[in-house]
C-alpha cells in the first residue's frame, strides 16, 4: 500500500535524459536542432575535451524573452506544438519539449538569450532542474553552454568512448545537419581550433562540395522527383562508381538524418549492382508530415510511414531513372547476365576473337628470356624452371575467364574469377609492401577528404606509411599524398584512402590484424576499379602471380579465386565414365 509515487521532477528528467542524451554528440544534435528551429542563419559550436568539459552552441536565431527562457528548461515545455493534431503536421526538428530539461539534468547548463530586436537579453544557470536568477546581459540570439556533461551520472560517463571517437560523432552530427540545412552557416571549434567551417551555401550541391570536395561530388549524379505527397532530391553514385563499403550513405526525411533500411535498400535496388558493391547516396526525402510519423524514436532517428511499399517504389523509380540510362552494360540486370554483351562490358573486343587469336600463340615465358625484346614471342630457350606457356583464354562475361588447366599436365578446364584473383595478388603485394618499395609520385597529389576521414587518416599516418602510403596533413580536411604502394593506381587516391579509413574504423578482429583488414579492403576496391580486359600477357602474368601467392585459391574474403574441372570430372559430368 502506498508504494507507488509520482517521480520527482529532477529524477524524471534524468530518466528522459537516458534516452535523449546518449553521448556528447546527442547534446550537440539537440542544441543544433533548436537553433535551426529558431531560424538561425549562423551557428557556432565549441567543444572542449570532446564535449565532456564543454559544449557551447550559439546562434543568431529568434531568441527568447525572459519568461520563455525560464520556461524552456521545464519538462514538456515547447513552443512547437500545442495540440494533438499538431503531432501529425510537424514541420520543426523538435517537438517533444524534452531536450533542454534532459540536458540540464545531467550537466551544468547556462543559457543566454535575447528575443529578436531587443536591446539586451538574459543569462541564467540551471541548477537542479530549476532556472536560476536571470541576469541582464547584452547578447543576440541564443547561446546554450553545457558543462561537465554526465558529472552526476557516473555510469553514463563510463560508457563514453575515447575522446577521438566522441569527437568523431560530434563532427558527424554537425556535418549531417549542415547537409540538410545548406542555407545555414556552421562552424565547429575543438579546443579553440577551427575544425568545421561551412559558410551559408546556396544549395545542397554547394554544401556537398564544401564538405566532401569537388572531386568527390563531381562523380555523383543528381536525383529529383516529385509525386503527390512525396518529393526526393539528392545525389547518388553513377553505376560505374560503386564501392565496397556503405560509407557516405545518408538519408534524410524532412531534413532529419534518419536510418531506414527499407529506403536505403530501395536506392541500392535501383542499380542491379553485383553483390558486395554499394552506391554512395545523399537522399533527401520530403514527405507530407501527415503520412510520416516522426514520433517513434526519442532521439528522432527513426520514422514510420503509412505506405512503406509505395515509398520504396517511389525511391527506386527516382534513382533508377537517373542511373539506368548511365549503366551502359556496366552491371547487367539478372535477365541479361546469361548473355553478356561482351562488347559493352569489356570494351569493343569480342571475347571469342580473343580465344581464337591467342589459342595458338607461341609459347613464351618470363623465365630465361630476359634478352628477348618486350613483346617478342620468339622461341624461348630453357623450358625448365617455372616456365609457363602463354595460355589461351576466353572472357565469359562478368568477371569470369575460362582457360585450359595445364597444371600437373593433366589437363581440364579452369574458370578464374578475375576480380578475386586480382584481389588476392594485390592483397599479398600490399601486405608484403609493408617491406616493399613504394611508388613516389612525381607531383604530390592533394586529396580532399571528409572531416571524419581526415581525422582517421591523421590518426594513422604511421600505419599508412608502412604500406607505402606517405600522407601529410594539408589543412582544411585535405591531405597531400607523396607516395603510394607500387601496384596501386594513382588515379583513385581518394577511394584508396576512403577504403583504408573504413577498414581502420572497423578495427581488427580475432585472427585478422588491422593491417590485413586495410590491405583486403584496398585490394578489393582497387581490383574492382581496375577491372579492365586483360591482354594475353597481362592475363598470364596474373596467373603467374597468383600461383606465387601464399593462398592462391582464395581471395582475401575467403571466396575461391578459381574453379577447376579435371578431364575426369568433365567425363563424369558428361556421364561418360
Ligand atoms: P523542443 O525543441 O522539443 O520544443 P526543447 O527542450 O529542445 O524542446 O526546447 C524547448 C523550447 O525552448 C523550444 O520549443 C523553443 O521554444 C525554445 N528554444 C530552445 N532553444 C532555442 C533557441 N536556440 N532559440 C530560440 N528558442 C529556443
Ligand atoms: Mg529541441
pLDDT along the chain (577 residues), means of 10: 72 72 92 95 96 97 94 81 71 80 92 93 87 92 96 81 84 93 94 89 92 85 93 94 85 90 92 86 91 72 79 94 78 33 28 28 28 27 37 80 74 87 87 65 80 91 86 86 78 84 84 84 73 73 85 88 87 86
**Within 13 Å of residue 170, how many CA atoms lie on the same side as its CB?**
33
Domain C-terminal end among 326, 352, 379: 326
CA 188 – ligand 1 centroid, Å: 21
CATH at 403: 3.30.1370.100
Report the distance separating Cα 469 and Cα 458, nearest Å.
12
Best residue for ligand 1 mutational test, from 30, 60, 61, 72 (most atoms within 8 Å of Cβ)? 72
Ligand of minimum distance to the alpha carbon of 17 = 1
Q: Are strands 470-473 and 400-404 parallel, antiparallel or unpaired?
A: unpaired
Given a contact cutoff of 8 angstroms between Cβ atoms, the answer to whether 412 and 566 are in contact is yes
Residues 299 and 163 in one domain: no
Domains: count for the chain: 3
Atom of ligand 1 nearest to the CA of 142: 23
pLDDT value of residue 4: 76
pLDDT value of residue 1: 58
User: DSSP state, 100?
Assistant: H
Instruction: State the residue for C-alpha cell 569493343.
Output: 348
Given a contact cutoff of 8 angstroms between Cβ atoms, the answer to whether 235 and 203 are in contact is no
- Answer yes or no: is 359 within a domain: no
Give the residue whose CA is nearest to atom 14 of ligand 1.
78
Residues 572 and 447 in one domain: yes
Residues 408 and 535 in one domain: yes
CA 93 – ligand 1 centroid, Å: 10
Atom of ligand 1 nearest to the CA of 63: 25
38 lines ligand 1 (CB under 6 A): yes
CA 105 – ligand 1 centroid, Å: 16
Q: Annotate 314-361 with three-state secondary structure.
A: HHHHHHHHHHHHHCCCCCCCHHHHCCCCHHHHEEECCHHHHHHHHHCC
Report the distance separating Cα 213 and Cα 211, nearest Å.
6
- Answer yes or no: is 160 within a domain: yes
- Answer yes or no: is 373 within a domain: no
Report the distance separating Cα 176 and Cα 250, nearest Å.
8
Ligand of minimum distance to the alpha carbon of 99 = 1
Given a contact cutoff of 8 angstroms between Cβ atoms, the answer to whether 240 and 279 are in contact is no
DSSP 8-51: PHHHHHHHHHHHH-SSHHHHHHHHHHHHHHTT-SEEEEEEEGGG
pLDDT value of residue 236: 96
Domain C-terminal end among 167, 197, 227: 197
Please report which residue ranges of 63-203 form alpha helices under DSSP H. Answer: 66-72, 99-105, 154-158, 163-180
Give the residue whose CA is nearest to atom 19 of ligand 1.
34
Report residue 192: phi and psi, to 5°: 80, -10
Report the distance separating Cα 421 and Cα 548, nearest Å.
12
Kindly state the cell numbers that stand for 141.
540570439
Residues 271 and 186 in one domain: no
266 lines ligand 1 (CB under 6 A): no
Residues 548 and 502 in one domain: yes
Residues 314 and 413 in one domain: no
Q: Give the structural domain span for 501.
A: 396-577
CA 55 – ligand 2 centroid, Å: 16
Residues 232 and 149 in one domain: no
CA 90 – ligand 1 centroid, Å: 14
Given a contact cutoff of 8 angstroms between Cβ atoms, the answer to whether 386 and 367 are in contact is yes
Question: How far does CA 267 lie from the centroid of its chain?
Answer: 15
79 lines ligand 1 (CB under 6 A): yes
Residues 77 and 181 in one domain: yes
CATH at 274: 3.30.230.10
CA 421 – ligand 2 centroid, Å: 53
71 lines ligand 1 (CB under 6 A): no
57 lines ligand 1 (CB under 6 A): no
The angle at the Cα of 177, spanning 172 to 480, to the nearest 5 degrees, equals 45
Report the distance separating Cα 424 and Cα 559, nearest Å.
10
Residues 435 and 524 in one domain: yes
With b meaning 16 or more CB within 10 Å and e meaning fewer, what string describes 33-58? bbbbbbebebbbbbbebbbbebbbbb
pLDDT value of residue 196: 87
Ligand of minimum distance to the alpha carbon of 59 = 1
pLDDT value of residue 252: 95
Report the distance separating Cα 412 and Cα 462, nearest Å.
47
- Answer yes or no: is 122 within a domain: yes
CA 34 – ligand 2 centroid, Å: 5
Report the distance separating Cα 131 and Cα 67, nearest Å.
11
CA 202 – ligand 2 centroid, Å: 26
Give the residue whose CA is nearest to atom 27 of ligand 1.
34
Residues pairing with 225 in the sheet: 232
With b meaning 16 or more CB within 10 Å and e meaning fewer, what string describes 117-138? ebeebbbbbbeebebeebeeee
Residues 191 and 223 in one domain: no
Nearest one of 2, 456, 106, 531 to 277, comparing CA atoms: 531
121 lines ligand 1 (CB under 6 A): no
Please report which residue ranges of 433-506 form alpha helices under DSSP H. Answer: 451-459, 461-466, 493-506
Report the distance separating Cα 236 and Cα 249, nearest Å.
9
467 lines ligand 1 (CB under 6 A): no
Ligand of minimum distance to the alpha carbon of 111 = 1
Give the residue whose CA is nearest to atom 23 of ligand 1.
35
pTM over 0.75, yes/no: no
96 lines ligand 1 (CB under 6 A): yes
Atom of ligand 1 nearest to the CA of 98: 6
Report the distance separating Cα 41 and Cα 24, nearest Å.
23
Domain C-terminal end among 299, 326, 353: 326
- Answer yes or no: is 463 within a domain: yes
Kindly state the cell numbers that stand for 421.
584473383
CA 230 – ligand 1 centroid, Å: 28
Best residue for ligand 1 mutational test, from 78, 102, 131, 141 (most atoms within 8 Å of Cβ)? 78
**In the sheet where 478-485 sits, what is the strand order?**
438-448, 478-485, 470-473
- Answer yes or no: is 165 within a domain: yes
62 lines ligand 1 (CB under 6 A): yes
Query: What are the CA-CA distances from residue 206 to residues 201, 218, 416 (Å)?
Result: 6, 11, 44
102 lines ligand 1 (CB under 6 A): no
pLDDT value of residue 389: 53
Report the distance separating Cα 537 and Cα 463, nearest Å.
34
Best residue for ligand 1 mutational test, from 32, 35, 37 (most atoms within 8 Å of Cβ)? 37
Give the residue whose CA is nearest to atom 17 of ligand 1.
72
Atom of ligand 1 nearest to the CA of 59: 23
pLDDT value of residue 409: 57
- Answer yes or no: is 376 within a domain: no
Residues 184 and 232 in one domain: no
Nearest one of 87, 128, 127 to 110, comparing CA atoms: 127
Query: What are the CA-CA distances from residue 21 to residues 14, 103, 292 (Å)?
Result: 9, 7, 24
78 lines ligand 1 (CB under 6 A): yes
> How many residues would you count in the chain?
577
Residues pairing with 135 in the sheet: 123
Burial class (CB in 10 A: 0-12, 13-18, 19+), 577: exposed
CA 257 – ligand 2 centroid, Å: 15
Report the distance separating Cα 71 and Cα 80, nearest Å.
13
- Answer yes or no: is 458 within a domain: yes
Contacts 24+ apart (CB under 8 A), 127-131: 128/10, 129/9, 129/10, 129/13, 129/73, 129/101, 129/104, 129/105, 131/69, 131/70, 131/73
Residues 170 and 319 in one domain: no
Given a contact cutoff of 8 angstroms between Cβ atoms, the answer to whether 357 and 366 are in contact is no
pLDDT value of residue 408: 56
pLDDT value of residue 295: 67
CA 314 – ligand 1 centroid, Å: 34
CATH at 162: 3.30.565.10
Amino acid at each position: 500500500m502506498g508504494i507507488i509515487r509520482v517521480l520527482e521532477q529532477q529524477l524524471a528528467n534524468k530518466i528522459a535524459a537516458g534516452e535523449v542524451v546518449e553521448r556528447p554528440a546527442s547534446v550537440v544534435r539537440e542544441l543544433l536542432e533548436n537553433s535551426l528551429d529558431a531560424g538561425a542563419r549562423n551557428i557556432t559550436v565549441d567543444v572542449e575535451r570532446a564535449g565532456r568539459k564543454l559544449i557551447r552552441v550559439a546562434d543568431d536565431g529568434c531568441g527568447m524573452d525572459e519568461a520563455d527562457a525560464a520556461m524552456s528548461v521545464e519538462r514538456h515545455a515547447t513552443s512547437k506544438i500545442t495540440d494533438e493534431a499538431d503531432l501529425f503536421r510537424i514541420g520543426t526538428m523538435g517537438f517533444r519539449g524534452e531536450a533542454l530539461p534532459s540536458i540540464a539534468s545531467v550537466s551544468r547548463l547556462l543559457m543566454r538569450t535575447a528575443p529578436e530586436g531587443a536591446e539586451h537579453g538574459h543569462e541564467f544557470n540551471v541548477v537542479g532542474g530549476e532556472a536560476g536568477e536571470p541576469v541582464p546581459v547584452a547578447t543576440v540570439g541564443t547561446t546554450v553552454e553545457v558543462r561537465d556533461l554526465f558529472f552526476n551520472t557516473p555510469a553514463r560517463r563510463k560508457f563514453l568512448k575515447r575522446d577521438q571517437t566522441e569527437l568523431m560523432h560530434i563532427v558527424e552530427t554537425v556535418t549531417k545537419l549542415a547537409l540538410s540545412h545548406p542555407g545555414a552557416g556552421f562552424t565547429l571549434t575543438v579546443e579553440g581550433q577551427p575544425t568545421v567551417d561551412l559558410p551559408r551555401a546556396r544549395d545542397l550541391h554547394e554544401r556537398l562540395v564544401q564538405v566532401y570536395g569537388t572531386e568527390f561530388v563531381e562523380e555523383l549524379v543528381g536525383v529529383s522527383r516529385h509525386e503527390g505527397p512525396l518529393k526526393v532530391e539528392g545525389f547518388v553514385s553513377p553505376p560505374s562508381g560503386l564501392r565496397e563499403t556503405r560509407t557516405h550513405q545518408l538519408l534524410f526525411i524532412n531534413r532529419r538524418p534518419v536510418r531506414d533500411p527499407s529506403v536505403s535498400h530501395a536506392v541500392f535496388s535501383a542499380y542491379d549492382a553485383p553483390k558486395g558493391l554499394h552506391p554512395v547516396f545523399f537522399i533527401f526525402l520530403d514527405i507530407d508530415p501527415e503520412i510520416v510519423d516522426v514520433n517513434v524514436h526519442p532521439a528522432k532517428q527513426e520514422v514510420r510511414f503509412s505506405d512503406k511499399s509505395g515509398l520504396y517504389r517511389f525511391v527506386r523509380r527516382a534513382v533508377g531513372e537517373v542511373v539506368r540510362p548511365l549503366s551502359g552494360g556496366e552491371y547487367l540486370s539478372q535477365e541479361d547476365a546469361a548473355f553478356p554483351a561482351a562488347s559493352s562490358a569489356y570494351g569493343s573486343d569480342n571475347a571469342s576473337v580473343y580465344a581464337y587469336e591467342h589459342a595458338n600463340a607461341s609459347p613464351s615465358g618470363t623465365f630465361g628470356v630476359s634478352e628477348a625484346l618486350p613483346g617478342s614471342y620468339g622461341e624461348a630457350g630453357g623450358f625448365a624452371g617455372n616456365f609457363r606457356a602463354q595460355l589461351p583464354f576466353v572472357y565469359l562475361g562478368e568477371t569470369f575467364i575460362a582457360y585450359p588447366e595445364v597444371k600437373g599436365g593433366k589437363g581440364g578446364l579452369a574458370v578464374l574469377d578475375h576480380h578475386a584473383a586480382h584481389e588476392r595478388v594485390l592483397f599479398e603485394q600490399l601486405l608484403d609492401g609493408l617491406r616493399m618499395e613504394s611508388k613516389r609520385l612525381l607531383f604530390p597529389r592533394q586529396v580532399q577528404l571528409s572531416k571524419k576521414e581526415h581525422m582517421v587518416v591523421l590518426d594513422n599516418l604511421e600505419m599508412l606509411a608502412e604500406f607505402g602510403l606517405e600522407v601529410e596533413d594539408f589543412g582544411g580536411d585535405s591531405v597531400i599524398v607523396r607516395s603510394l604502394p607500387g601496384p596501386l593506381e594513382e588515379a583513385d587516391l581518394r577511394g584508396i584512402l576512403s577504403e583504408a579509413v573504413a577498414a581502420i574504423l572497423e578495427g581488427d578482429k580475432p585472427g585478422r590484424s588491422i593491417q590485413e583488414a586495410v590491405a583486403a579492403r584496398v585490394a578489393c576496391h582497387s581490383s574492382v576499379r581496375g577491372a579492365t580486359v586483360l591482354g594475353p600477357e597481362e592475363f598470364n602474368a596474373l596467373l603467374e602471380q597468383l600461383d606465387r601467392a601464399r593462398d592462391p585459391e582464395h581471395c582475401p574474403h575467403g571466396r575461391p579465386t578459381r574453379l577447376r574441372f579435371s578431364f575426369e570430372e568433365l567425363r563424369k559430368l558428361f556421364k561418360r565414365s
